Amino acid sequence: MSNHLPEPEELARIHLDMSASGWMDTPAVLREGMYCHGVQGKNIEAVGMPNPRDWRVEDDDWQLPEDWHHIVMEGLKERLHRFRSLQIFMDICVRCGACADKCHFFIGSGDPKNMPVLRAELLRSVYRYDFTRAGRIMGKMVGARKLTKAVIREWWYYFFQCSECRRCSLFCPYGIDTAEITILGRELLNLLGLNIDWIGAAVAKCHHVGNHIGMEPQTFKESILFLCDDIQEITGIKIDPSFNRKGAEILFVTSSGDFYADPGIFTCMGYLMLFHQLGLDYTWSTYAAEGGNFGLFTSHEVAKLLNAKMYAEAERLGVKFILGGECGHMWRVIHQYMGTLNGPAGFLETPVSPITGTRFDHAASTKAVHICEFTSDLVHENKINLDPSRNDHLRVTFHDSCNVARGMGLLEEPRYLINKACNHFYEMPEETIRERTFCCGSGAGLHAGEDMELRMRGGYPRANAVRNVRELHDVNTLACICAIDRAAFPALMDYWVPDVRVTGVHELLGNALIMDGECERTVDLRGEELPTGPAKQSAEDVSLRNAVDIPEGA
């Protein structure tokens, strides 16, 4: 953690009043703890991006290329011709302010330039100056200004204080999506070699080795097998998953967070157990191991570059469709971008669940199914048995990840699963869930260590809502379906709401899943004692109960 991280009480003293001078006259001060390290030269080079060099944010000279101004202007012009979103969003904002206090970074920091409307104005002001006559003539009065190196610094600071969560877009009467502006703004910065290293390093590794953390094929296999050992210890069942296997029916892809770090690995164990219990004909891939896509946080081109492997691998292995794990931005990419970027995937088939026969027509083109859709269908068709009492020590609430909430609409499936796998589920206040969900504060590649203050500030509204259900219902578990959430929330909870654990939905499911031939479970997937006592029933009772259970919505 950053040494400068203030105490929660101090951090929570937020002032939402505006500075006396206008925003254009208030230079951006890059405050330590609120930004990430600049990208290293080798990581820029690894994907063939411009201006590779080592630079430090603290330096006065960011070593921009000679013709940086021209590069940005041409880049902006090109994007205005390529993205209707950008042109429209530059033109039609009325500054009604509806988006202003919807951003968790503004709420948590009080910095006016974190109001989505102002974040967008940072770019819009330059657009006005260079692309509109009134802006050129009237200047500051109509919100126009020249692009200077100071503006570049300001862009960098604030475009990397946006987690591309789209909450602002939901509330804007015209749907102006500041996330889109940030995405394109970051593209412009990347033309100058101004990424952050937390993203740049992940991109470089993913491109070259196949996942964000640079796990080589043998290590990847080892870590999955390691999880299988743990499963065997807990359930007595030996699982033997396959890797890079041609002819498998399904290619399973999830984010690296799920196979490498606590608590993601427990979710991964859940997947492994479920697939084993089903006897699913699936394979992992060491080459297209990464579901997450930090390219989205870099540029559309890099997003395409990294995403291309998923289809290439599916085609090489000859699978029928792709099943994707619990991850937020991975699913924004798969759902809204993948088909367009690297499709159409004519070599795959419309996904059909081999267990239930359900055809996932809503994925007929992209041929990728979300694990929560897949599992909800299984539960609904009574193909698996669950003993929710094994999760009785958990009082659970659920965080909707921004990307799947506002860039897809996967809201009911995870709730359905949690309700089937747990007996104690409580929703956070309604203004903070579903499509109105608050970001974890670390999305879009911001979950580094050096920007901890930014993360704690940005995550404050979410943490505040968790504390609400902790106080009301004694909630001790925060469930989510996103690998970045699972990486980011433990620190956020420690800071704001101690003693709340973070879990994936398929970890809860793995706990509750009754497997054929398993020994009596005494510990959960984390090796913690299971609750005992009168509430605990034998597996037989439960399967009987599940069998007569009338599914919701039937």
Chain positions 200 to 219 lying near other proteins, rule: CB under 8 A, are 207-208, 210, 216-218
Interface with other proteins in residues 410-449 (CB under 8 A): 410-413, 416, 429, 431-432, 434-436
Interface with ligand HEM in residues 144-183 (CB under 6 A): 173
Cβ atoms 24, 142 nearer than 8 A: no
Shortest CB 94 distance to ligand HEM, Å: 5
103 binds, among ligand HEM, other proteins, ligand SF4, none (CB under 5 to 8 A by kind): ligand SF4
Please identify which residue in 42, 56, 70, 81 interacts with other proteins, judged by CB under 8 A.
81
Q: Tell me: cis bond preceding 8? Omega within 30 of 0 counts.
A: no
Q: Which residue has the tokens 């043998």?
A: 218
As a whole number of angstroms, the distance between CA 184 and CA 128 comes to 16
Shortest CB 305 distance to ligand SF4, Å: 23
Q: What is the dihedral of CA 324, 326, 330, 333, to 10 degrees?
A: 70
Question: Quick check: 535 binds ligand HEM (CB under 6 A)?
Answer: no
Q: Which residue has the tokens 């037989």?
A: 540
Complex with ligand SF4: residue 446 or 530, whichever CB lies closer? 446
Q: What value, to the nearest 5°, has the Cα angle with vertex 286 and ends 443 and 510?
A: 65
Question: Quick check: 525 binds other proteins (CB under 8 A)?
Answer: no
Complex with ligand HEM: residue 83 or 174, whichever CB lies closer? 174
Number of residues that bind other proteins (CB under 8 A): 125
Question: Quick check: 92 binds ligand HEM (CB under 6 A)?
Answer: no
Question: Quick check: 142 binds other proteins (CB under 8 A)?
Answer: yes
459 binds, among ligand HEM, other proteins, ligand SF4, none (CB under 5 to 8 A by kind): none
Complex with ligand HEM: residue 98 or 539, whichever CB lies closer? 98
What is the DSSP code (8-state) at residue 502?
A: E
User: Residue 322: enclosing H or E segment and its boundaries?
Assistant: strand 321-324
User: Which of 326, 239, 228 lies closest to 280, judged by CA?
Assistant: 239
Helix residue ranges per DSSP H, 318-451: 328-332, 339-342, 371-380, 402-406, 412-421
**Binding stretches for ligand SF4 (CB under 6 A):** 93-99, 102-103, 105, 116-117, 119, 162-168, 172-174, 176, 178-179, 182
Please identify which residue in 14, 16, 18, 96 interacts with ligand HEM, judged by CB under 6 A.
96
Shortest CB 99 distance to ligand HEM, Å: 11
Task: Give the per-residue contact string, 337-376, with other proteins (x = CB under 8 A; - = no).
Answer: x-xxx-xx-------------x-xxxxxxx-x----x--x
Burial (Cβ within 10 Å: 0-12, 13-18, ≥19) of residue 467: middle
Please identify which residue in 30, 92, 94, 312 interacts with ligand HEM, judged by CB under 6 A.
94
Complex with other proteins: residue 94 or 519, whichever CB lies closer? 94
What is the DSSP code (8-state) at residue 481?
A: S
Shortest CB 444 distance to ligand SF4, Å: 8
Work out the end-to-end distance of the chain between its first and last CA atoms, rounded to an integer number of angstroms: 49
Q: What is the DSSP string of 251-265?
A: EEEB-HHHHHSTTHH
Amino acid type, 3: N
Q: Which residues pair with 254 in a beta bridge?
A: 290
Residue 110 — left, alpha, or beta (φ > 0 → left; ψ -120 to 50 → alpha)?
left
Complex with ligand HEM: residue 89 or 252, whichever CB lies closer? 89
As a whole number of angstroms, the distance between CA 292 and CA 203 comes to 10
Please identify which residue in 93, 151, 227, 500 interacts with other proteins, judged by CB under 8 A.
93
User: Residue 396: enclosing H or E segment and its boundaries?
Assistant: strand 396-399
**Residue 177 φ then ψ, to 5°:** -110, 100
Residue 147: how many other CB atoms lie within 10 Å? 20
Shortest CB 443 distance to ligand SF4, Å: 8
Complex with ligand HEM: residue 92 or 312, whichever CB lies closer? 92
Please identify which residue in 407, 459, 504, 510 interacts with other proteins, judged by CB under 8 A.
407
Shortest CB 409 distance to other proteins, Å: 3
Question: Quick check: 88 binds other proteins (CB under 8 A)?
Answer: yes
Shortest CB 406 distance to other proteins, Å: 5
Residues in contact with ligand HEM by CB under 6 A are: 94, 96, 173
